Amino acid sequence: MERMRVRTDLALEARESFEGSETEVHGVIVEEEYDEERDIRVTRVRIESERGAKEMGKPMGRYLTLEAPGMASPDENYHREISECLASCLLELMGEPHAREVLVAGLGNRDVTPDALGPKAVSNLLITRHLIREYGKAAVGGEGVNAISGIVPGVMAQTGMETSEILQGVIDQTKPDLVIVIDALAARSTRRLSRTIQLTDTGIQPGSGVGNHRGSLTRESLGVPVIAIGMPTVVEAAAIIYDAQGSCERMPPHLNGMFVTPKNIDETVRQLSYTISEALNIAFFPRT
């Protein structure tokens, strides 16, 4: 039985396709937390069994999703609150705090607006690795300071290389404790666009993302923990047909390769990439 024929990168949406069914999905634990004042909802999905992973179509691990309807608004103060909430989610996934060497990779094509989220986010990060190596930890902020490096590897059509090859090479040379990858995602519903951010400790799977990465970027493949931060910026055109008619039977073939995006996607990607980079800056450099 195929419950979902339309691709989604969100665990939240994968789970929704089971809604209304009588039984819970085995080995999948879901918790919701709603901050009414700020209108931010955090959903924690934990896939704990192979069976749950199979049914969800997502690997075992933890998925935190932050939903905030106001995320698409240009209110700077509200974005600061989202960044803070996102920073907490990230720290929760990272576990016990200690000084880390973190490599942040902005995936996607910087020349394709809805795919440029990751590259733009990396461009606003506080980068410290080179300063610590040059001047010492004391000069930069003390023993507890995190050493952050960043890379924008580009996409295969631009580089001729798998993103995984480039990251593996950089990891081998610089030996970070943790890799964070930021990527634009495809959602199944336009309701998710520009208002949902997903964090997961399962990394990136082949076929995910706006740009459809082919190699996996996971702890297993890269040999270092990988946290993926993703935000849906597009819906594939097929998905809205499916939504409207409950199937893709009358899907016109010329819709292949078509994206649905909000009209203001250029502005949204500019703003939300900043919100994400601020979250990382808050998580790694808390003002004590």
- Return residues touching a second copy (CB under 8 A): 111-113, 122-123, 127-131, 147-154, 156-162, 165-166, 168-174, 189-191, 210, 237, 240-241, 243-245, 250-252, 254-255, 257-267
When the beta carbons of 30 and 224 are compared against a second copy, the nearer one is 224
Q: Shortest approach of a second copy to residue 109 CB, angstroms?
A: 9
Q: Shortest approach of a second copy to residue 26 CB, angstroms?
A: 31
When the beta carbons of 48 and 190 are compared against a second copy, the nearer one is 190
Q: Shortest approach of a second copy to residue 184 CB, angstroms?
A: 12
Two structure tokens written together for 194: 């520009």
Alpha helices in 146-256 (DSSP H): 156-159, 163-174, 219-222, 237-245
Angle at 143 between CA 142 and CA 148, to 5 degrees: 85
Q: Shortest approach of a second copy to residue 79 CB, angstroms?
A: 14
When the beta carbons of 92 and 267 are compared against a second copy, the nearer one is 267
The partner residues of 196 in beta bridges, in order of sequence, read 67
Decide: helix, strand or coil at residue 36. Answer: coil
Strands annotated E in 57-216: 61-67, 101-106, 147-151, 178-187, 196-200
When the beta carbons of 58 and 192 are compared against a second copy, the nearer one is 192
Phi first, then psi: what are they for 230, rounded to 5°? -130, 145
Q: From CA 244, how far away is CA 160, in angstroms rounded? A: 38
When the beta carbons of 20 and 257 are compared against a second copy, the nearer one is 257
Q: Shortest approach of a second copy to residue 136 CB, angstroms?
A: 15
